[in-house]
């Protein structure tokens, strides 16, 4: 079963560098196929740092996540937490 979620990005730096690294690490920690993209655009595989950063997603942009697999809901919960936590809070 495929689960979907749309999230507004909070980290000031957008989905670049540290937030993207944490995001991709979390994707790879789960038993689910996950994709990410802007709503209405073709998504990319979320387990690739290059693919994720190439989206150019900035603070305040919406992203659409799709997860399919054993722990899809847990994966989406963790990814939403990463995407909606200000970077200064995530660093602590």
Confirm whether 16 is a catalytic residue.
Answer: yes
- Residue of 16, 30, 59, 64 marked active site: 16
Rg of the chain taking only CA atoms, in angstroms: 12
Percent helix, strand and coil across the chain, each rounded to 5?
A: 40, 25, 35
Q: How many helices (H) and strands (E) does the chain have?
A: 4, 4
Q: Which residues are catalytic?
A: 16
């Amino acid at each position: 079963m495929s689960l979907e979620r749309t999230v507004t990005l909070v980290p000031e730096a957008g989905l670049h560098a540290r937030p993207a690294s944490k995001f991709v690490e979390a994707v790879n920690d789960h038993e689910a196929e996950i994709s990410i993209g802007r709503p209405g655009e073709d998504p990319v595989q979320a387990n690739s740092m290059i693919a994720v950063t190439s989206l150019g997603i900035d603070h305040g942009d919406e992203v659409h996540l799709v997860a399919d697999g054993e722990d899809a809901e847990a994966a989406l919960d963790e990814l939403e937490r990463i995407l909606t936590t200000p970077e200064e809070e995530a660093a602590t």
